[in-house]
Amino acid sequence: MSSAVSPLAPTDVPEMPQIAGVRLATAAAGIRYKKRTDVLLAVLDPGTSVAGVFTKSKCPSAPVEWCRAKLKGGRARALVVNSGNANAFTGKTGKQSTAQTGAIAAKALGCKQDEVFLASTGVIGEPLDASKFDGVLDKLADEARPDGWMDAAQAIMTTDTFPKVATAQVKLGKAKVTINGIAKGAGMIAPDMATMLAFVFTDAPISPAALQALLKTGVEDSFNAVTIDGDTSTSDTLLAFATGDAAAYGAPKISKASDVRLKAFVKAFNGILANLAEQVARDGEGARKLIEIIVEGAVSKPSARKIAMSIANSPLVKTAVAGEDANWGRVVMAVGKAGEPANRDKLSISFNGIRVAKAGARDPSYNEKEVSAEMKKPEIQIKVSLGLGKGRDRVLTCDLTKEYVAINGDYRS
């Protein structure tokens, strides 16, 4: 966890309301860090629906494999998250550690192991001593309270410089339901779900199948459209929990994601995912600039996404932005290497709304002084118009600074 807060951190941090059926507690178990909280326990009411999406890494962590297996049951009573150790690339020891943690949590809450969900973040390749949870989870189960959201967000941080939270309230039927989300992520961030750890909670009565469908769709233009460094983590996990407690005050029970009564809820739910994903981009390790990349005029949306990601993951583009240089030549390079349809002579590029290249050449009205002034701003938009079709997409990233190298060079030492 970095000591200096990112200059891109949100200035307005919302008050996180309570959610019926969710209680939270945190502790310092000494997993890796000294004198800081590193364990989160979320206690969930019986009958809570759960959905999840995970990394596409071929080397997933033990907790990811655990959650994938437990997701089939569709119900959750507990979420245990630790920071400091990813429990990834730890072989049989990793599986034993998840089994031991699941057993400790199940005993503490009096529930089945299949209702316990786990997530770990931190250093890869070091065994996680699950005995450190013994006694701690019992204590947390007793201490869990409905108002511990900020503590929860802080407990899951690693190189993050600020806790990431988002909330929304919306009508479902005649009842008001609440959605809260927390996330962590600052490095080893590239889409393929998720791009870090994120947890979303609601009191809406939504079935596991419907919640899974909402999550799978919502993730595509939020967490899957953000990248810090092009590296997909072994541990990426996004879990959603719906306690259903709002049914007691009039919320209708939802069994299908296509239910028309979900319209406002879906908008708010996707808004939470987008908000958290942007906060991850804002907290990119060493970041000083938030970069929005828009690609339009592509042959399709998937093609636009690939080109946008090629730009977003280019170290040359990202270092140019860090140096406040509107180096559109590097953007051209990134478009060209993406392997997607593009026509050099139809290409237009703009920085913060100022067009610098048009029809495959420098814009005749290009003004270096004007563009340089824009590049000093903390938020930079790079727009690429391909002139080939109607495909459009948007991704978020950040600049690449010397601090990124320093943070990652010192990470294990």
Residue 383 marked as a ligand binder: no
C-alpha distances in Å from residue 131, one per residue of 31, 79, 98, 166, 178? 10, 17, 11, 33, 35
Residue 296 marked as a ligand binder: no
Question: How far out from the chain centre does Cα 175 lie?
Answer: 29
> What is the spatial distance between Cα 346 and Cα 343, in angstroms, rounded to a whole number?
5
Q: Where are the CATH 3.60.70.12 domain residues in the chain?
A: 22-282
In the chain, the amino acid numbered 9 is: A
CATH topology (fold) of 22-282: L-amino peptidase D-ALA esterase/amidase (3.60.70)
Q: Check if the beta carbon of residue 352 is closer than 8 Å to that of residue 377.
A: yes
Residue with tokens 């296509």: 258
C-alpha distances in Å from residue 158, one per residue of 35, 181, 197, 348? 14, 18, 11, 40
Select from 202, 224, 255, 281 the least CA-distant residue to 54. Answer: 224
Query: Order of strands, edge to edge, in the sheet holding 290-298?
Result: 361-362, 354-358, 348-351, 379-385, 290-298, 391-398
Residue 285 marked as a ligand binder: yes
Residue 408 marked as a ligand binder: yes
Residue 195 annotated to the active site? yes
Tens of pLDDT along the chain (413 residues) come to 445 899 999 999 999 999 999 999 999 998 887 778 999 999 999 999 999 999 888 888 999 999 999 999 999 999 999 998 989 988 999 999 999 999 999 999 999 999 999 999 888 899 999 999 999 999 999 999 999 999 999 999 888 899 999 999 999 999 999 999 999 986 554 444 334 799 999 999 999 999 999 999 999 999 989 886 666 667 789 999 999 999 999 999 999 999 999 999 999 999 999 999 999 889 888 889 999 999 999 999 999 999 999 999 999 999 999 999 999 999 999 999 999 999 999 999 999 999 999 998 999 999 989 999 999 999 999 999 999 999 999 999 999 998 888 877 765 54
Neighbours of 390 (CB within 10 A): 11
Q: What is the pLDDT of residue 191?
A: 46
Residue 184 marked as a ligand binder: yes
Q: Where are the CATH 3.10.20.340 domain residues in the chain?
A: 290-409
Q: Check if the beta carbon of residue 294 is closer than 8 Å to that of residue 384.
A: yes
Architecture of the CATH domain 290-409: Roll (3.10)
Q: Check if the beta carbon of residue 322 is closer than 8 Å to that of residue 287.
A: no
> What is the spatial distance between Cα 52 and Cα 47, in angstroms, rounded to a whole number?
16
Neighbours of 266 (CB within 10 A): 15
Residue 377 marked as a ligand binder: no
Q: Check if the beta carbon of residue 300 is closer than 8 Å to that of residue 391.
A: yes
Which of 195, 232, 397, 401 is catalytic? The answer is 195
Q: What is the pLDDT of residue 109?
A: 97
**3-state SS track over the chain:** CCCCCCCCCCCCCCCCCCCCCEEEEEECCCCCCCCCCCEEEEEEEEEEEEEEEECCCCCCCHHHHHHHHHHHHCEEEEEEEEEEECCCCCHHHHHHHHHHHHHHHHHHHCCCHHHEEEEEEEECCCCCCHHHHCCHHHHHHHHCECCCHHHHHHHCCCCCCCCEEEEEEEEECCEEEEEEEEEECCCCCCCCCCCCEEEEEECCCECHHHHHHHHHHHCCCCHHHECCCCCCCCCCEEEEEECCHHHHHCCCCECCCCCHHHHHHHHHHHHHHHHHHHHHHHCCCCCCCEEEEEEEEECCHHHHHHHHHHHHCCHHHHHHHHCCCCCHHHHHHHHHHCCCCCCHHHCEEEECCEEEEECCEECCCCCHHHHHHHHCCCEEEEEEECCCCCEEEEEEEECCCHHHHHHHHCCCC
